[in-house]
Amino acid sequence: MIVESAPAKINLALRVRRRREDGYHEIETLFAFLRDGDVLALDPQPSRGNEGSSLSFTGPFGALLSAEGDNLVSRAAAAFARAFAVADAGGFTLDKRLPVASGIGGGSADAAAALRALARRDGVAADDPRLVACAEALGSDVPACLYGRSALGRGRGERLEPLRGLAGVPVLLVNPGVGVPTGAVFSAWDGIDRGPIGEGALLDRALAGRNDLEAPARRIAPMIGEVLALLGETANTRLVRMSGSGATCFALYESGADRAAAANAIRAARPNWWSLESALA
């Protein structure tokens, strides 16, 4: 059994620069990754004995995906098979721990994990250009998730510049249980280019930045404002922001004890919300 983690992704800052002729948006973003997320297992020789890959789900959010006819893990397996001329076979089990459509790259991380697992199975180098091309074809965040380390993303987010990260910094993710469609949020962007992400140390760039998608996401899901307000009221935060296109928000903390206190307070106030205590990788 080959096991790959699919860690949550957060955007420490996100600038939308323009809408491109191909329908995508030109962005600049500071990617960072957590130590926790989904977990994907690959049985290289599934017992069912049929050609093609299989995919089953476990975890608190697995049922939401099991009803879908299409999934990024299956698409990643098919893309890998085409790129490397191998049989599209293998039994995947996805332990889906991250909420769906939540702005933390869950589906993209799952696809990247599938590509890494298949590459390990077949002895493909992690930086093989064909593997990277598979990631780029699967979605804008998949190359960053395949890379899996702090980076500045440009273009659709697929042009990556490695950055010295904030490893070990405590982080709390909070989602109010609202799914926000990425396409709708980008469509609601006001079209104003507010300039590039600045220079300097990663945290300084993040603090000086913003998320240009927060305003349109809050119009679609006003509860995001409540999440940000509650996180902002917790003690010793270093940064509070919405991630991606929402609705998940995060806070970075001075210490693990500060993060734990904040998590306990928010769970007491909003017991039906999802939260995750972790640290940056």
Catalytic-residue membership of 70: no
- Are the C-beta atoms of residues 37 and 97 closer than 8 Å to each other? yes
* Helix-helix angle 106-122:129-138, to 10 degrees: 150
Look up 9 and say whether it is catalytic.
yes
- The residue annotated as part of the active site, out of 36, 38, 141, 258, is 141
Per annotation, catalytic residue among 9, 36, 96, 258: 9
CA R_g for the chain: 18
Question: DSSP assignment of the chain, as one string?
Answer: -EEEEEEEEEEEEEEEEEE-TTS-EEEEEEEEEEEEEEEEEEESS-TT--SSEEEEEESTTHHHHHT-S--HHHHHHHHHHHHHT----EEEEEE--SPSSSSS-HHHHHHHHHHHHHHHHHT--TT-HHHHHHHHHH-TTHHHHHH-S-EEEETTTTEEEE----TT-EEEEEE-S----HHHHHHT-----------SSHHHHHHH--BTTHHHHHHH-THHHHHHHHHHHSTTEEEEEE-TTSS-EEEEESSHHHHHHHHHHHHHH-TTSEEEEEEB-
CB 63, CB 45: distance < 8 Å: no
Contact between 180 and 101 (Cβ < 8 Å):
yes
Q: Which residues are catalytic?
A: 9, 141
